[in-house]
Amino acid sequence: MNAALTPAQLLASLEWRYATKAFDTRKLPDATWAALEESLRLTPSSFGLQPWKFLVITDPAVRAKLRPVSWNQTQVTDASHLVVFARRTEVTEQDVNEFFHQMVAERQADPAALEPYRQMMIGGVVKGKDPAAQKEWAARQLYIALGQLMGAAAALAVDTCALEGIDPAAYTEILGLKGTGYEVVVACAVGYRSGADKYAQLKKIRYPKARVIAQV
């Protein structure tokens, strides 16, 4: 890694970020979006299993269908990009094996040496969690990706708004995910804030460090 943000630059980008309520019509440059898309792909996950799919919704007609099942939030149709986060409905031994084989190939590793890790993944996720627990686990991984996207966007001076005020079942239906092994959990609008968004000028309200961070 070459240049890095200074601590001051990092904090400035996080102070600048807010939940954007109104986006303007500007589109993200291709290179900027490509970097944010890659930040999603690079998101860490438990065991590295990546139990997700990220749907990038740019078709205005599809976004128009999603808006009524999103509390009519304007971000759904107005932001440059809309990312929908879907989790695996079930994590199977086949999923573990797919990841395992890719890991062996890309790291040129001895499969026998990594076999204990494969067994740990199967025991910890496939056999060690019932269907409800698997879904909860997969949703937690999605929120890691959501946070990574929002932090990366702020570092590039790109605005975001996480959208939990959606109907996940309706999203899953509209986006044709039923029966695919994926279901929607949350979404995020990505773009540039409107100059008319009054929320951009409001002071960020956070508890003091002494309340939320403890040194042990």
pLDDT at 3: 77
CA angle 194, 143, 153 (to 5 degrees): 35
Burial status of residue 127 (CB atoms within 10 A of its CB: 0-12, 13-18, 19 or more): exposed
Q: Percent of the chain having pLDDT more than 70?
A: 99
pLDDT in tens, 122-156: 999 999 999 999 999 999 999 999 999 999 999 99
Burial bucket for residue 56 (CB in 10 Å: 0-12, 13-18, 19+): middle
Q: Which CATH class is domain 7-90+141-212?
A: alpha beta
Q: Which tens digit of pLDDT belongs to each residue from 27-49?
A: 999 999 999 999 999 999 999 99
The residue ranges of every structural domain in the chain are: 7-90+141-212, 92-128
